[in-house]
Amino acid sequence: MGNAEDDGLNEYDRDKNQKQSLVLHTIASACTTSSQFADVQAIAIALESKKFSLGIQNLSGGYTNYTYKVFLVPSVDDEEQNNDDDSDVTETQTALFVKLCFPRAFWNPDPEYVYDVERIANEYEMMLRFAKLAPGCVATPYLLLDVGDMKLLATQWNPDDEQMGNQFIDGVADERVAKKLAAAVAAFHCSHIDADFNTDARDCMIDIFPSMEDLLLKMATNETASSRMKELTLELGADGCSKLFDAATKSYREQDIPCHADLHMFNIMVEKKPQIDLFSEQDDIFGENGTFCICDWEMTMKGPLGLDMGRVYSIPVACILAHAISGNSDVVDGILAWLNLYWNEYSDTMTKKSGQSTNFLCTSYRNAMAWLGWKLYAISIFEWFVPFLPIESGDVGSLKESVGVVGFTLMKLGFGEGGEGLTVDELHSRFNSTISDEIDHIKSSRRGRPSLRRKSSILRQSNRRVSDAFKGMGRESLKKMISDLSQVGLDK
């Protein structure tokens, strides 16, 4: 037998294949006919019949976890003999969502930092809790298993299996989801969580703050400013920039309410569109029911007001800027209307459920702008999610600058002195004007350029997902994964 190094695979692919095999073996061993869950029972019965084996498809991951779809595959002989038999339809449709969790967050700059895999046990617990608060808005967790120094979580394969980020990439988002999502998140924020619950996830995130601050300080001390971002940081000064991250660190350690802490649009699953012709006159461009499912609960903790809202807003705002740069600023009002619906429903629900004061809502909105700004700044410098946004490769530099400018402006509004004492309406007006000013700048910069036709999400076309696996990775590092997206039909 040859060495693994002789298999012709690079390290990334070899690790990917080894973990797939490990997952398949673990799931096959753990599924029993006595399980309380019908899906797990169905898999066990199908495997015992010898008519099926398990198949696996990578969905996302590689930096803190891998996620998979694990499903039943008819054996070749059985498929040939029974291709007219409908008796096995249920079995072949049975699938699990599986997450294999690593003891390392590879986007963390400290190679010695241990990212406790107990976080996935906390995710399992939080999914059970949220299911009671918002029935139907989270997948049912089935299995929690130790796999060496890793942990494996297997859950229901939710029928809402398209990431909502795709809708904002398309330029049109389902307003029904805005209200339902806001109400569910508000119910979660009104619930109880222990102060020390999953707190290790907090420290792992704070560990990347210094590198973000260092990049900002380099701009703030570069007197040969050649970009709008550098001009803004020079204006605030190095001390002012450091104070923003002092405030961010202090805020992230606050324990105000339960927080999902990673509630961006690629962690919210929705129904697939029945058709994706965005230029159709039909209104029916979304799923029938407007349902959704929140996933990836492994960073849940007791955290600051506004953190989750900042995450919710981040991809929509990045998409607004990307669409504008491509000459499609006509989608801006629709996306902003979606965000307004979310806030209005969230604030109304929080007021009704917990009787929160106006001051609470002001703090929530201001913090949301701060954390939205932080996320946009991170997208700008680390290129998180950028390869999947609606932007041509030649315009990535313009997008990064626009996202950075808006992010920095909102960080000053939330973490700096600019937002102190403002009402919710005033904060909302500042948010809208920040977006509007940047759109005006983009329009003036692209005069004479033709608009580019809006394109459907590459993720929808490839039936793949994006996750925080891409944090900390530049565009060059993503070439292999982008190649995987284009070749996805080969591994189905």
Q: β-strands 301-303, 292-294: how paired?
A: unpaired
Please state, in angstroms and as integers, the Cα–Cα distance from residue 284 to each residue in 82, 277, 287, 400, following that order.
38, 10, 8, 33
Q: Residue 162 belongs to what H/E stretch?
A: strand 162-163
Q: How far apart are alpha carbons 322 and 401 in whole angstroms?
A: 11
Q: What is the pLDDT of residue 76?
A: 72
Please tell me the CATH code under which domain 4-154 is placed.
3.30.200.20
User: Residue 294 in contact with residue 188, Cβ under 8 Å?
Assistant: no
Q: What is the pLDDT of residue 481?
A: 38
Q: What is the mean pLDDT of each run of 10 residues along the chain (492 residues)?
A: 66 89 98 98 97 93 84 76 51 87 71 80 97 96 96 91 92 96 98 95 92 94 82 94 98 98 96 66 73 95 98 99 94 97 97 84 98 98 93 94 98 93 96 98 78 54 51 37 35 30
Q: How far apart are alpha carbons 311 and 276 in whole angstroms?
A: 26
Domain ranges of the chain: 4-154, 158-490
Strand partners of residue 67: 60, 99
- Output helix, strand, coil percentages for the chain, rounded to the nearest 5: 55, 10, 35
Q: What is the pLDDT of residue 276?
A: 53
Residue 384 DSSP class: T
Chain segment 150-197, per-residue pLDDT in tens: 999 999 998 777 899 999 999 999 999 999 999 999 999 999 999 999
Please tell me the CATH code under which domain 158-490 is placed.
3.90.1200.10
Q: What is the pLDDT of residue 92?
A: 65
Give 173's Cβ-side CA count (13 Å radius). 35
Q: What is the pLDDT of residue 470?
A: 41
This prediction has a pTM of: 0.87
Chain segment 230-270, per-residue pLDDT in tens: 999 999 999 999 999 999 999 999 999 999 999 999 999 99
- Side by side, which strands form the sheet with 95-101? 52-61, 65-74, 95-101, 150-156, 141-147
Please state, in angstroms and as integers, the Cα–Cα distance from residue 413 to each residue in 237, 361, 420, 445, following that order.
16, 16, 8, 25
Shortest CA distance to 193 belongs to which of 105, 241, 284, 129? 129
Q: What is the pLDDT of residue 356?
A: 74
